[in-house]
Structure 1
Amino acid sequence: MTEVPAVEARQTGSQRVVSYFKERILRGHLKVGDRVMPERELAQELNVGRPLLREVMKSLVMLGFLDVRQGSGTYIARADIRVLSDFFTFCLSQEQDILEDVMQARMAIECQAIRLACERANEADLSRIGQWLSALIETLGDPEAGGRADFMFHQSIVAASHSRSLTTLYGAMSELLQRSHVQRRATTYRNPNIVRVLVEAHREVFLSIVAKDADQADRRLREHFAIGDDLRRKSLIETYRSGLERKLN
């Protein structure tokens, strides 16, 4: 069998198989549509048994990284973000209090995305963001539909950045983010004053993008996040106090 480097030798067989594809794709040695070498040759190249290689490759097929074509062979596939999103959500859901951490990652992505959107957004992008702003306003009394409209408003801003890296990372968190939007709608959009403040915050964010003012857009978005965070904290305090009063009475 082929001798493998010391670093690879310390890896398990399955790790060597995954690393083989990851490293060669990163280096450009394998691209989407390229045919993978036959199983026997690949097993020798990686110094692993064919049954193990077969099982790991089946997992990579399920994740959308590889494509098996009957009678033709195995090819490098273009990964489907929906599959990666499910995997990412599954991993994060096992962590405690993960939504707060996801929110911090969301802020980092959106603040960079909105700056790029001010430079790169086209008419279709602006129209899409504007449509979701209108939908957001029209669904203030519906936590489910309103939460989705709120999420789509922000997702459309990230899409308007035309950054594949940012949209991929944001997409991987999409299910968790959409759930958080719905939850916040159910708890914070009760007070008319709160509704007015949040609607105005979204409108200011949108107008800043239209004006192509990156600094103002970044500032407005951060203000919007700060407002939302403050409202969430006040809502939790109010819920706790109400629950305590019911118990005492």
Structure 2
Amino acid sequence: MSSQQDKVYIEIIRELNHIIQEDQLIAGDKLPSERELSERLNVGRSSVREALRSLELLDLIETRRGEGTFIKSIGGHRLVEVLASFFLREKKARSDLAETRKIVEVEGLRLACERIDDSQLEILEKLIVQSKNSWQNGKFPVEEDYLFHKTIVEACHNRLLLNIWISLVEYSKVALRESLSREGRPEQSIMEHEKILTALKNRDVDQGILALKNHLENSRF
């Protein structure tokens, strides 16, 4: 994610926290609409929507169809404040983000080696094929890459771990595209995915973790 995009994202979360405090909102209260937030924060609605989506993935807020977005009862504005302060660390946050993603994903793969089912292995195989097709057609397989890793964490069948992973990777999706844009990286990344898949098929935890750590290191997140 570019420095400018970082600033917009951070500013939105910081201002959301300010609005929650200013309006004295508590758990169960409704947040202002996307349109109102966009006007109050002077940013595009798409940027507001992405920030809200990240907070929802962390289970800090929830969207109810036809009703709006509400603060969840498990944390309220205090968790939003913690989240904002984390992202406000600028460069330090980037290294923390990469380190935390590695910890979460390695543990997810460790559990997935025991819990992954045949349908999820098939999904991983299809995603590798789709990645190859996308790259052959001149497109960076960003979405396929994202879904490959997401499927692995889903396979550990731990919803909280998955929510944490999604929130971390949503924040760094632009970094994923930048990583894949390096010369020779798409082909190498796909081969690394194949090694991870082989380890999962064999339920080989050690080889799986080794392959994943190597992949994340080469990806330079």
- 1:159 maps to 154
TM-score after normalising by structure 2? 0.60
Moved more, 124-133 or 147-156: 124-133
Q: Quick one: which amino acid aligns to residue 95 of structure 1?
A: R
Question: How far apart, in 1, do the equivalents of 2:90 and 2:207 lie?
Answer: 35
Relative contact order, CA 8 A, sep 6+: which one is greater?
2
Gaps of 5+ in 2: 1-20, 32-59
Q: Quick one: which amino acid aligns to residue 108 of structure 2?
A: A
Per-residue deviation, residues 146-184 of structure 1 (Å, max 9, x unmatched): 122111111111111111221011122232132221121
- 1:136 lines up with 2:131 in the alignment: yes
Q: Quick one: which amino acid aligns to residue 165 of structure 1?
A: L
Per-residue deviation, residues 221-243 of structure 1 (Å, max 9, x unmatched): 112223333xx8xxxxxxxxxxx
In our comparison, the structure showing a higher alpha carbon Rg is: 1
Question: How far apart, in 2, do the equivalents of 1:59 and 1:91 lie?
Answer: 23
Gaps of 5+ in 1: 1-51, 233-249
| Shift in CA distance, 213/60, structure 1 to aligned 2, threshold 3 Å | farther
Aligned ranges for residues 30-49 of structure 1 at < 5 Å?
none
- 1:206 maps to 197
Question: How far apart, in 2, do the equivalents of 1:195 and 1:66 lie?
Answer: 36
Aligned ranges for residues 107-146 of structure 1 at < 5 Å?
107-140=102-135, 141-143=138-140, 146=141
| Identical amino acids, percent of aligned pairs | 19
State the Cα distance separating 1:132 from its structure 2 match: 1.9
The question of whether the paired residues in 2 share the 8 Å contact of 1:151 and 1:177 is answered with no
| Shift in CA distance, 77/105, structure 1 to aligned 2, threshold 3 Å | closer
Give every structure 1 segment of 4 or more consecutive aligned residues whose post-TM-superposition deviation is greater than 6 Å: 75-79
Aligned match of 2:177 in 179, 182, 188? 182
Per-residue deviation, residues 28-60 of structure 1 (Å, max 9, x unmatched): xxxxxxxxxxxxxxxxxxxxxxxx9x9323774
Question: How far apart, in 1, do the equivalents of 2:189 and 2:216 lie?
Answer: 10
The question of whether the paired residues in 2 share the 8 Å contact of 1:120 and 1:160 is answered with yes
Aligned match of 1:95 in 89, 96, 106? 89
Question: How far apart, in 1, do the equivalents of 2:112 and 2:73 lie?
Answer: 25
- 1:64 maps to 61
The question of whether the paired residues in 2 share the 8 Å contact of 1:60 and 1:66 is answered with no
- 1:245 maps to none
1:56 match: secondary structure: coil
- 1:105 maps to 100
